[in-house]
Every structure is written in structure tokens, then in C-alpha cells.
Amino acid sequence: MNAIQTKPTILIVGGAGYIGSHINCALNERGYNTIIFDNLVYGHESFVQWGKFILGDLADKNQLRLLFSQYKIDAVMHFAAYAYVGESVTDPYKYYINNVANTLNLLEVMQEFDVKTLVFSSTCAVYGTPQEIPITENHPQNPINPYGRTKLMMEHIMADAAQAYGLGYAALRYFNAAGADPGGRIGEWHDPETHLIPLVLEAARDQSRSITVFGTDYETPDGTCIRDYIHVNDLSSAHCLALDHLFDQPGEYVFNLGNGQGFSVKEIIDSAREITGRGINVIYGQRRPGDPAKLVGNAQKMLSTLNWTPQSSSIKTILQTAWDWLQVKEQKYKT
């Protein structure tokens, strides 16, 4: 008789947030067991629609110990980080404490309980101002703000932990995560919202609002910044592939997650007009400090090593799913 195979249990730290909740959904669709650990500072309990929810904070190491002693955790995915670049400049301690010190609590407790598999949410902000486009994983790492430095520090710490304790990890450097679950169950919901796509769509929904374009004098074809937008469901499939790969071949991995194509702020606004069929009021404003003209990733390594096949990252699909989610958010959550 065959032994019953149970799928591994994955602890998703920050699993009530935008990206973490989509990955929770993807893992459950693939049959994994998940435990969602989130302090709900930025996450939404209503996003925890799969797995078991535990309200908690990485600052509390004893709570982590209790969690790891109660459940047999096979791997950890870590999304719980502060990610407002501007705030990281004005309040760096907040970022170093949460994104580095509290994450060290997690790593230490993983080590205590012999959990050696970690998928870590990193960012293209670890590269700083690009020297060449598209950016590969070998591009020099010179982050230009504390947020990017916290993520780079964590990459160094994980590399040291791999050597010293045999930690297996994948650091996934996202470009611009966007879009939403096509079923409208979860989506992008930050408070405050600072990201381009939700703000553009909000301006389409509510005609009293407008979108301010941050700078029109960049060295790009239309003068506005170019970014690489990747659908959150494509991020999810990449995380699942990285996790399976770590289980099969434990090691140290770093991958860019982007779609290799850039879109300007003006192109996003034009596409949003088309998809929503609405007018969008635009204000042309000043540059936002710290914004490079162009950030586009080369994700060839992920595509070829793990056979990653992004399926939802056309601008049309990104905007359509984000637009559909906005209607749900308005109706269900009265926002």
C-alpha cells in the first residue's frame, strides 16, 4: 500500500499583504498546506482566504518559537517588509528594525527548528541606478535608499547563513508587481496607495481625482519614466517554481522577476483609458526624488533555469485585472 503523501507546509510571513496573499492562493491551488503569519499593519485579514491565519509579529521571537514548535514547517516564504521608499529615507530605523532585525529573528528561529528552506521577497531596488538595461542578476548592487539597502543586507545575511548553517534560499528580485487575481478575490490594496497603476485606475473610477505624472523631462521617448510591470500571478508561479527547485536542489539562488519590457507612465495612462473606457485627468508634475528614468529587468535566468512562463503580464491583462479588482474593492469593502 502506498504511504499517503502529504504536501509540505509553508509558512507565509506577510501572507495577508498584496503579493503574499496571491502566493498563498497559488500554493493552495497546488495542494500545499499554508500558515499565514501577519501583523496586519498593512495586510488585510479578508485576504487570508486559504490556509491557517496566525496574527503575530516577527519582533516577538517567543511567539515565533511557539509557532515553529506547534507546526511542522517545511519552508518559509517571507513577504513581511515595509516598502515605502520615501518613508525609508525619513524613518530609516523603522526599516532596518522591521526589514532586517525582525527578519533575523525569523532566520534564527528557523535555524533553531532546523527549517532550511526560504523564499525571500527581494527587489530590483537592490541594484540602484542602472548602469545597463535590461538589468541582469550580475548587475552591481548599489541601492540608493534605505529600503533597497535593507533588502540587500538580507541577501548578504542569507548568503552568510547558507555558508554557515546550510540555509537554502531563493532571493527573488521583483520589478513592478501589478494586477490582481482574475477572480477578483484579492488584489492591490495599500494604505496609503503610492503605486502608479492603482492610482491611475482610481482616477478613472472617480472623475474628481487625477493622476500626477512625476516628471516629463526624462531621457525616454515620451519624457516619462519607464518601468517593467509584472503580473502578481506570474510572480506567484515563479515563487512556486523556486520553492519546488529549493526542495529538489537545495542551494543559493537569485532571480530577477520582470517581464523584460518597459512601459512609460504615459503609456500606462493611455492603456488605462482604453481598457476602462473612461477619461483620466492628468497633472504633469515634478520628478519624484530617487526615480531612475528606466528600470527594465532581464528575467532570462528564471525563464530558462526554472522554465518560468509568465502568462498574465501583458499590460492589457494587468490593467484589466486591476480594474476588475477595484470594482470589487469598492463594492465589497466600500473604499
Q: What does the alpha-carbon distance between residue 106 and residue 187 come to, in Å, rounded to a whole number?
A: 26
Question: 189: Cβ–Cβ under 8 A, 6 or more apart, which residues?
Answer: 18, 44, 47, 329, 333, 335
- CB-based burial, 69-98: b 16+ in 10 Å, e otherwise: eeeebbbbbbbbbbbbbebbeeeeeebbbb
Of 31, 38, 32, the C-alpha closest to 12 is 38
Amino acid letter, 278: R
Judged by CB under 6 A, the stretch of 6-14, 102-110, 163-171, 190-198 that binds ligand UDP is 190-198
Number of residues that bind ligand UDP (CB under 6 A): 14
Residue 133's alpha-carbon distances to 58, 144, 210, in angstroms, are: 36, 17, 31
Among 94, 100, 214, 216, binds ligand UDP (CB under 6 A): 214
If binding is defined by CB under 6 A, does position 133 make contact with ligand UDP?
no
Among 212, 216, 261, 314, binds ligand UDP (CB under 6 A): 212
Looking at the Cβ atoms of 65 and 288, the one nearer to ligand UDP is 288
Question: 57: Cβ–Cβ under 8 A, 6 or more apart, which residues?
Answer: 39, 63, 102
Partners of 169 in the β-ladder: 118, 252
Among 162, 291, 314, 328, binds ligand UDP (CB under 6 A): 291
Q: What does the alpha-carbon distance between residue 155 and residue 144 come to, in Å, rounded to a whole number?
A: 16
Q: Please say whether the beta carbons of 30 and 86 come within 8 A.
A: no
If binding is defined by CB under 6 A, does position 201 make contact with ligand UDP?
no
Q: Minimum distance from CB of 120 to ligand UDP (Å)?
A: 18
Looking at the Cβ atoms of 9 and 210, the one nearer to ligand UDP is 210
If binding is defined by CB under 6 A, does position 199 make contact with ligand UDP?
yes
User: x/- binding map, residues 219-258, to ligand UDP, per CB under 6 A?
Assistant: ------x-x-------------------------------
Q: Give yes or no: 147 in active site.
A: yes
Q: Minimum distance from CB of 312 to ligand UDP (Å)?
A: 18
Catalytic residue among 18, 42, 127, 147: 147
Q: Collapsing DSSP states into helix, strand and coil, what is residue 176?
A: strand
Judged by CB under 6 A, the stretch of 105-113, 189-197, 201-209, 325-333 that binds ligand UDP is 189-197
DSSP letters spanning 81-106: ----HHHHHH-HHHHIIIIIIHHHHH
Q: What does the alpha-carbon distance between residue 133 and residue 59 come to, in Å, rounded to a whole number?
A: 38
Partners of 257 in the β-ladder: 174
If binding is defined by CB under 6 A, does position 196 make contact with ligand UDP?
yes
Looking at the Cβ atoms of 18 and 169, the one nearer to ligand UDP is 18
Q: Minimum distance from CB of 263 to ligand UDP (Å)?
A: 9
If binding is defined by CB under 6 A, does position 288 make contact with ligand UDP?
yes
**Neighbour count for residue 226 (Cβ, 10 Å):** 22
Among 33, 176, 271, 320, binds ligand UDP (CB under 6 A): 176
Q: Minimum distance from CB of 102 to ligand UDP (Å)?
A: 22
If binding is defined by CB under 6 A, does position 194 make contact with ligand UDP?
yes
Of 24, 321, 47, the C-alpha closest to 182 is 321
If binding is defined by CB under 6 A, does position 65 make contact with ligand UDP?
no
Q: Minimum distance from CB of 225 to ligand UDP (Å)?
A: 3
Q: Which residues bind ligand UDP (CB under 6 A)?
A: 176, 194-196, 199, 211-214, 225, 227, 265, 288, 291
Name the residues annotated as catalytic. 147
